[in-house]
């Protein structure tokens, strides 16, 4: 019979995701580090998975983001269209107006998740050990952080 400690399965899952588990699950700093790494990985995963515009998915890994910014720059400099493609589709020329819709959706998606992750990290930094066990990517932020995030999103035009 195999007996598992309280954290052995969690430790295995962390190692599989490339995160070194804490040596001591009662050490506040170690658990903070792991919680922050998990939040960062989930944020990156969600951003990289991209957006859906008009039924088509557009991944947003680092290369995609760089390409998106480059093509947006070409449009801002007067290009009538730019080459781009949705996931799994052949590259084609996107008219400027169509590309701007994709680019704006992508930037709003990235802005939202990076802002949320930043606020989540602020919560992690001040959280107690008990609170850390309840924090994961996607949970509702405490009121003060939710208000701060709302202000930033409104100022950035992404609310």
Could you report the per-residue pLDDT of 35-79, keeping only the tens digit for each? 999 999 999 999 999 999 999 999 999 999 999 999 999 999 999
Q: How confident is the model at residue 4 (pLDDT cuts 50, 70, 90)?
A: very low
Sign of the dihedral defined by the CA atoms of residues 85, 86, 90, 92, in that order: negative
pLDDT at 153 over 60: yes
| pTM reported for the whole predicted model | 0.88
79 burial via Cβ count (<10 Å: 0-12, 13-18, 19+): middle
| Measured distance CA(27)–CA(45) in Å, rounded | 27
Each domain of the chain, given as residue ranges in start order, spans 25-156
pLDDT at 132 over 90: yes
First to last CA, the chain: 53
Asked if residue 109 has pLDDT above 70, the reply is yes
d(CA 45, CA 39): 10
Percent of the chain with pLDDT over 90: 81
Rounded to whole angstroms, the Cα distance separating 19 from 35 reads 10
For β-strands 56-58 and 51-53, DSSP reports them as: antiparallel
In the chain, count H helices and then E strands: 6, 4
In this structure, how many other beta carbons lie within 10 angstroms of the beta carbon of residue 158?
Answer: 15
Helix pair 143-156, 96-126: axis angle to 10 deg: 160
Percent of the chain having pLDDT more than 70? 93
């Amino acid at each position: 019979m195999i007996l598992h400690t309280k954290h052995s399965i969690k430790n295995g899952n962390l190692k599989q995701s490339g995160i070194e588990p804490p040596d001591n699950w009662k050490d506040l700093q170690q658990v903070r580090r792991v919680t922050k790494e998990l939040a960062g990985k989930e944020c990156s995963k969600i951003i990289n998975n991209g957006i859906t515009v008009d039924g088509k998915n557009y991944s947003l890994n680092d290369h995609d983001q760089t390409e998106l910014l480059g093509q947006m720059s070409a449009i801002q400099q007067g290009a009538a269209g730019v080459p781009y493609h949705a996931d799994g589709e052949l590259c084609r020329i996107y008219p400027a107006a169509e590309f701007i819709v994709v680019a704006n959706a992508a930037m709003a998606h990235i802005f939202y998740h990076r802002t949320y992750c930043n606020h989540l990290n602020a919560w992690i930094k001040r959280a107690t050990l008990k609170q850390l066990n309840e924090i994961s990517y996607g949970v509702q932020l405490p009121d003060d952080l939710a208000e701060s995030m709302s202000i930033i999103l409104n100022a950035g035009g992404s609310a």
